[in-house]
Amino acid sequence: CGTSGMAADMHAAGYASLTNVDVSRICIDEMATRYADISVNATKPDAVRPTTASINECIDNDELPFKIYGRDDLGGVRWLQADCRNLDSVFDSRTFDVVLDKALLDALYGSEVPSREIHRYLQEVDRILTPTGTYLCISHGLPENRLDKIEDTDPDSDGFLAWHTQVHAVPKPMLDPYAVSDLRDPKDVYYVYVCKKSFELDDEKQQKLRRARAKKLGKQVKKKKPKTRRGRPR
């Protein structure tokens, strides 16, 4: 999210459902006020979301004190405060068709424990995307410094992600209107990582999650062949 005008520009271009998320309440309040004429949520979520433990207690008691957004709850331009590394208390699984990341991944590379925070973030992106959704990551980072985290199609890996990744180099705007960007020069380009989810990989991921939950409960789950998009085993 941040304070750029991207959401307003996208809305003007015809995108009808845009959910903007930032960890900063100040940022969210500022943006909701700045773009009040195109925003639909006058009431913002609580500044502090409950922990996963308290969420589970509330679910057990059937008394959630906050709203968890699902696919049918969204539409229009919305501003929500949330931590992208822990969205369990904000969004249902399989809610979004597209997640657009404008240098957020880059910011996590500067965190105290980058590998841990990036892992948490990407797993949340995978969770909230539909089985055929797309994660678009706009980054300054070279592919050799990003793909080891963004692309992991190994079902046995802790970092397993249910998507395939393509990389595109996009020229940066130049101060000199007559200058020509050199796509081979990292200083002249942004890198766009297009991560398209696979129905088959998503099914495999869901099986892995079910086995993990069953193991935690002391149960056993038989491993099945991943389904194709038509619902048949591969």
Q: Give me the pLDDT at residue 42, please.
A: 44
Mean pLDDT, residues 68-97: 91
Q: Which residue has the higher pLDDT, 139 or 40?
A: 139
Q: Give me the pLDDT at residue 77, please.
A: 94
The answer to which of 37-46, 54-63, 89-98 has the lowest mean pLDDT is: 54-63
| pLDDT beyond 90 at 69 | no
- Looking only at the bridges linking them, the beta strands covering 163-171 and 189-197 are antiparallel
Q: Give me the pLDDT at residue 183, please.
A: 82
Share of the chain above pLDDT 90, in %: 65
Mean pLDDT, residues 43-62: 47
Name the average pLDDT for the chain: 86
Q: Rounded to whole angstroms, how far apart are CA atoms 137 and 81?
A: 20
How many other C-beta atoms can be found within 10 angstroms of the C-beta atom of residue 213? 11
| pLDDT beyond 90 at 232 | no
Residue 50's pLDDT band (boundaries 50, 70, 90)?
Answer: very low
